[in-house]
Structure 1
Amino acid sequence: MSHPLSEPDVAAHHEPSWRAGLKDGMPPLFGIAAWGMVVGVAMVKSGLSVMQALGMTLVVFAGSAQLAALPLIAAAAPIWVIFVTSVVVNLRFVIFAALLAPHFAKLSLLRRFFYGYGTGDLTTALYLQRFPSEKPEEGKLSYLRGLLYPNWIAWQGGSIAGIFLGSAVPPEWGLGFAGTLAIVCLAVPMVATRPALVGALAAAVTAVLAHALPYKLGLLAGVVVGMVTAMVVEGQIERRKAANV
């Protein structure tokens, strides 16, 4: 009997799981497309050409990192500053990869790269809600595909529309502020725990105090301080729990 996640089996299409992934991933697609459009407009407004913006959205496929990098690109910051900022903003994907890796360890390296490229915050959360256990189970890959493909199409569709419409959008529409609001809307649900809340406050205070640093390094400093603070607080909470057991 073959392993449920062996290479031949994961290549097969599992229709019920595929449909379940489509159904679960459908509700937020409009918001994803709108968020992509904001990022697309921001890329053009930051001075990127249409071809540069198209290349960025297709290759990077990470809205928060793109928005973090754009002001640095516009300010002609050194490439290492842009790179480190983008990496720090996207460090959460290392955690996502660690959570998903046991589920798809039997896939080839190329296929893991492919599905890793398309996996984001929402798709990871929805997948782990349906398959919290790492044990082999039929339909895992088909469910992930059902989440990933529409999500990627919605994002790229919105982003590409924003790129081509960006030059025609009046400045008084304030899409820069819309982008800020979009980030806030994404961030607020993520600060539901005490470590996340304390980390967010530490990041905000650091970013304000360090706003005068060149190349907008205050943003990078805020992210680093926020992450470290959240980790320290979480460690203290875990130690207290262990002491009370």
Structure 2
Amino acid sequence: MSYNKFNAWKAGLKDGLPICLGYFAVSFAFGIQAKGIGLTPFQAAFMSAVNVTSAGQYASLQLIAAGAPYFEMALTQLIINLRYCLMSCALSQKFTKKTAMGHRFGIAYGVTDEIFAVSVCRPGPLEPAHSYGLISIAVPGWVLGTLFGVISGSLLPESIISALGIAIYGMFLAIVIPVARAEKPVLAVVLCAVFLSTVFYYTPGLNAISPGFQIIIITVLTAAAAALLFPVAEEVSHES
């Protein structure tokens, strides 16, 4: 590794440290949830290592507990994590044309909301070494947090486990509420999703649909409604 690449990797480590700490706290709560449905420490940690997605992994716990088929799990993950395709497309524009395809695939593994935000805001072309620095500290934080969460679920008293088990809900609220207060379209999307979830939960027939397909249907309907009601205006360039 050249000196410049090593410096870029170290800069990635520095930028990724706050992400690592945040991931550890969130995945700790996920680990407790995973322990609650019977996953072993290895199974939960392996899930975190190959998925690296809080929303997708949390949804998968419900599907695993319900005994959902693999196809339903895969389709649910595809719908929930489809945003990473858009993030990867946007991030690919930050790399030079000389960036090898192997690097692109390697970096794509670690594209998360937080890593994308840090990467896309970095001035100038993006060095693969910087992305690897982000991934090499953020992903271990996610995996280790999950592992410690599962282990703690076996050691801590039931009252503490129950209290920590709601931490992941607090994480989602902390993400959604500030944005929903600032952006009316986001608030409308959240309320629409809550309304549809309530309808599916209490309506006979609809509540017989498996949890995975409920998530898929609600996500698609909410996204379609948001696209129709709150379209994003395209920027028009005016040539002088």
Q: TM-score range by the shorter chain?
A: 0.7 to 0.9
Q: Structure 1 residue aligned with 2:176, among 158, 169, 187? A: 187
Q: Report sequence identity in percent.
A: 26
1:45–1:167 contact (8 Å) kept in structure 2:
no
The 1:42/1:11 distance shift into structure 2, 3 A limit, reads: farther
Within the alignment, does 1:80 sit opposite 2:75 as a pair? no
Note if 1:117 corresponds to 2:113.
no
User: Displacement of 1:215 after TM fit?
Assistant: 2.1
Compute the TM-score of the two structures, normalised by the length of structure 2.
0.81
> Is 1:118–1:148's contact at 8 Å kept on the other side of the alignment?
yes
TM-score normalised to structure 1 length: 0.80
Shift of 1:124: 0.5
Structure 1 residues 89-104: aligned runs within 5 Å: 89-104=80-95
* Structure-2 residue corresponding to 1:153: 140
- Which residue of the partner structure matches residue 41 of structure 1? 32
Which residue number in structure 2 is paired with residue 25 of structure 1? 16
Task: Determine the structure 2 residue equivalent to 1:128.
Answer: 120
Relative distance call for 1:106 and 1:41 in structure 2 (3 A) is farther
Q: Which of 112, 123, 144 is 2:131 aligned to? A: 144
Post-superposition offset of 1:111: 2.5
**Any idea what SS the aligned residue of 2:230 has?**
helix
Matched-pair contact (CA < 8 Å) for 1:21–1:146: yes
Task: Find the aligned partners of 1:92 and 1:53 in 2 and give their Cα distance.
Answer: 23
Which stretch of the first structure deviates more once superposed, 43-52 or 83-92? 43-52
Q: Which runs of 5+ in 1 are unaligned?
A: 1-9
Amino acid of the structure 1 residue aligned with 2:65: A
Shift of 1:102: 2.2
Query: Offset at 1:190?
Result: 4.6
Count how many residue pairs are aligned between Structure 1 and Structure 2. Answer: 226
Going from structure 1 to structure 2, the CA distance change for 1:163 and 1:11 (only over 3 Å counts) comes to farther
Structure 1 residue 185 displacement after superposition: 1.9
Q: For 1:101 and 1:227, locate their aligned partners in 2 and report how far apart those are by CA, in whole Å.
A: 24
Q: How does 1:159-170 map to 2 (within 5 A)?
A: 159-170=146-157
Q: Indicate conservation of the 8 Å contact 2:31/2:150, yes or no.
A: yes
* Distance (Å, rounded) in 1 between the aligned partners of 2:43 and 2:134: 28
Q: 1:209, CA displacement in angstroms?
A: 0.9
Whether contact under 8 Å (2:56, 2:81) holds in the other structure is: yes
Is the CA contact 1:13–1:142 (under 8 Å) kept in the aligned structure 2?
Answer: no
CA distance in 2, matches of 1:169, 1:200: 34
- Looking at structure 2, the residues matched to 38 and 206 of structure 1 have their Cα atoms a distance apart, in angstroms, of 26
Q: Distance in 2 between matches of 1:11 and 1:93?
A: 30
Question: CA separation of 1:190/1:141 partners in 2, compared to 1, >3 Å: closer, same or farther?
Answer: farther
Kept after mapping to 1: 8 A contact 2:20/2:139: no
Higher relative contact order (CA 8 A, sep 6+): 2
For residue 4 of structure 1, what is the aligned residue in structure 2? none
> Per-residue CA shift, 1:114-142, capped at 9, x if unaligned?
211112110101111123x6xxx3x6323
- AA in 2 matched with 1:56: M
1:220 alignment counterpart: 216
